[in-house]
Structure 1
Amino acid sequence: MPRPEDDAERTGVDVASSVGFDAWREAISSAFVPLDATPVTRAGEFRGALDSIAIGDLQLSDVIGDRSRVRRSERMIRRADPGVIKVGVQLRGHSTVHQRGRYATLGPGDLAVYDTSVEYDLHLEDSFDMLVAVIPRRSLRVADRELADATARTVGTGVGTGALLRPLLMSLRAGASDAGMVGGLVEDAVADLVSAVIRSSAPIDSLGAGETVLLSARAYIEAHLHDANLSPTSVAAHHHVSVRQLQKLFAYDGQTVATFIRQRRLDRCRRDLADVAQQHRSIGAICASNGLVDASHFSRLFKQTYGESPRRFRDSQLIADL
């Protein structure tokens, strides 16, 4: 097993607390999603450890272990599918991720995205250390087809979006207590960068003209959520397409344009309500700043979506931060 002094990029897991294979297998299934795991070395010789922290809905885990194979099967997906995406950053050792007929081979410094709603195999080929970020699928600003095209592809972290995402995850893991104070902002930053990694990882020729319009429309909506006049009509006009054409593009992901706008506004409001730095702002001011000018209507939508009123949600977040 690696020792803390062996790797300058250790993220905080206590190697002294390493456990045997059965306990490690149970730990990774509890921390992530239900998984099958088998050791490549003899089970009695296997040692592994896991250390996890949560920043809002974002989870970061430092996982170490010996040679092994981890599998997410269709049976396990049926058993529990929380709708999360994983980003694995290889810190030590080598691994291969197999999903959707593709293989991503990772060495130290590489990362890959994989979807826990689709079966996958992870082959950990030697003693390893991997930083794993778990992100709700709903937080990402990408279409389902973009995600499908980008999973199980090796992403280098020397240049491009990978070079931005890796140090962010590393710094968050090292400074978890500080990150928790601005959890909503941190979650958004990670989700935006993961979305950028996904978009840049997909083959260029996989995006047709319609998908290009869809990506642009989603980005336009994100930038104009504060505008109470934002609507399917205004988005379509900006992109010089008909509302009907725009609706067809969003329908590929099972959404309407109006549903997407409403959900993104609610997500922004929820983020702001959970932000301690914004506790001086009224709920009405927050919802209005995100384009929802009718406070009563906003309150009904929020409760319908998240299961509790905006006031109760905010109070619970402030109490948790005490």
Structure 2
Amino acid sequence: MPQSESIDQVTPDGITTAPPHDRVGFDEWREAISSAFVPLDASPDHRPGDFSGALSSITVGDLQLAEVLGDCSHVRRSVATIRRADPGVIKVGLQLHGHSTVQQNGRHATLAPGDLAIYDTSVEYGLHLTDSFDMLVAVIPRQALRVADRELTDATARTITTTTGAGALLGPLLLSLRSNHQGSSAATPLIEDAVADIVSAVVRSSAPVDALGSGQTVLLSARAYIEAHLGDPTLCPTAVASHHHVSVRYLQKLFAYDGLSVAGFIRQRRLERCRRDLADRTQSHRSVGSICATNGLVDASHFSRLFKQTYGVSPRHYREA
């Protein structure tokens, strides 16, 4: 779909919007979904000349929300397309009209109107749109989710209802953002956090009950404890292990399944909190040192080095950008 300066608009509140497009042919639609999301392969169920589709989107900070319409088709994220670009994002698809099937990690999720599915763009997946459809797709940075890799893998390609549980919170929130995206720019980081937190809750609640053994229960509780005490400079693996009445060695073993040490997880979450606060315009009056200290990183010089290693720029340059 051709892009022009008149398509995307920036509202006074700082939220970028794209008005709904007229329906276009298959080639333009395929190009549009690859440009808007991640590189994708797509093919129509019938002759390409019989296909029509459309795409419109808004962005709220690092969160992207797109409404995609079209006819019967197959969309695939292959190894080749992952190699072309892998930005590390998670998709949440909310079926508005029509039906679809999402396939990933050896599972298939069948979606009817009102159902959700989560899929990871860093892993191969397929999406079969079985009839004319309308789908709302949220694209969220993986690093914004408070879930482990195993939890995410367990939650992908599962049918999630929006009538009960965490899905009943997420569905209406996404619909509300689509319809009422005018808000204060000062609220943008809070909106991003709210969506990421609810998606994280959906991921955790979507895992099969038998997937959570006693060790996994301790791991989830330890992560929640860490999240609630990030501002405490004395927070350390020993303190977390002591609170849960387990040894540090056992706790390290639980965290190691996801490729992080306990200290590494604490550091990662503190840095992400600092990144969020630096992007928050309502906190522009606070110094970088104050922000890092509030999140438990009392050595400003050490924090600056860690931040640059993680995000590629210094905290000051990140805030200015």
- TM-score for the superposition, normalised by structure 1: 0.91
- 1:228–1:291: 8 Å Cα contact kept in structure 2? yes
Could you tell me how far apart the structure 2 residues matched to 1:160 and 1:223 are? Answer: 23
2:134 is the alignment partner of 1:129:
yes
1:166 is matched with which residue? 171
Q: Report percent identity of matched pairs.
A: 72
Q: Secondary structure at the match of 1:305?
A: helix
Alignment of 1:240-255 (within 5 A): 240-255=245-260
Could you tell me how far apart the structure 1 residues matched to 2:20 and 2:256 are? Answer: 48
Could you tell me how far apart the structure 2 residues matched to 1:189 and 1:196 are? Answer: 11
Ranges in structure 2 where 5+ consecutive residues have no aligned partner: 1-16
Could you tell me how far apart the structure 1 residues matched to 2:314 and 2:80 are? Answer: 36
- 1:13–1:49: 8 Å Cα contact kept in structure 2? no
Q: Which runs of 4+ in 1 moved over 4 A?
A: 12-16
Could you tell me how far apart the structure 2 residues matched to 1:254 and 1:15 are? Answer: 42
- 1:94–1:126: 8 Å Cα contact kept in structure 2? yes
2:93 is matched with which residue? 88
1:305 is matched with which residue? 310
Could you tell me how far apart the structure 2 residues matched to 1:21 and 1:180 are? Answer: 36
Q: Secondary structure at the match of 1:227?
A: coil
Could you tell me how far apart the structure 2 residues matched to 1:196 and 1:15 are? Answer: 30
Give the count of matched residue pairs: 305
- 2:102–2:157: 8 Å Cα contact kept in structure 1? yes
1:65 is matched with which residue? 70
Q: What root-mean-square deviation, in Å, do the aligned CA atoms of Structure 1 and Structure 2 show?
A: 1.5
1:319 is matched with which residue? none
Amino acid at match of 2:53: G
Ranges in structure 1 where 5+ consecutive residues have no aligned partner: 1-11, 317-322
Q: Secondary structure at the match of 2:183?
A: helix
Give the C-alpha shift of residue 14 in structure 1: 5.4
* 1:152-210 Cα distance to aligned partner (Å, 9 max, x none): 11111011100101111111222334265422222211111111101111110011111
The 1:146/1:291 distance shift into structure 2, 3 A limit, reads same
Could you tell me how far apart the structure 2 residues matched to 1:278 and 1:27 are? Answer: 36
2:291 is matched with which residue? 286
Could you tell me how far apart the structure 2 residues matched to 1:13 and 1:308 are? Answer: 29
1:269 is matched with which residue? 274
Give the C-alpha shift of residue 299 in structure 1: 1.7
Could you tell me how far apart the structure 1 residues matched to 2:266 and 2:215 are? Answer: 19
- 1:185–1:271: 8 Å Cα contact kept in structure 2? no
Alignment of 1:1-322 (within 5 A): 17-178=22-183, 180-316=185-321
Amino acid at match of 2:260: Q
- TM-score for the superposition, normalised by structure 2: 0.91
Q: Secondary structure at the match of 2:101?
A: strand
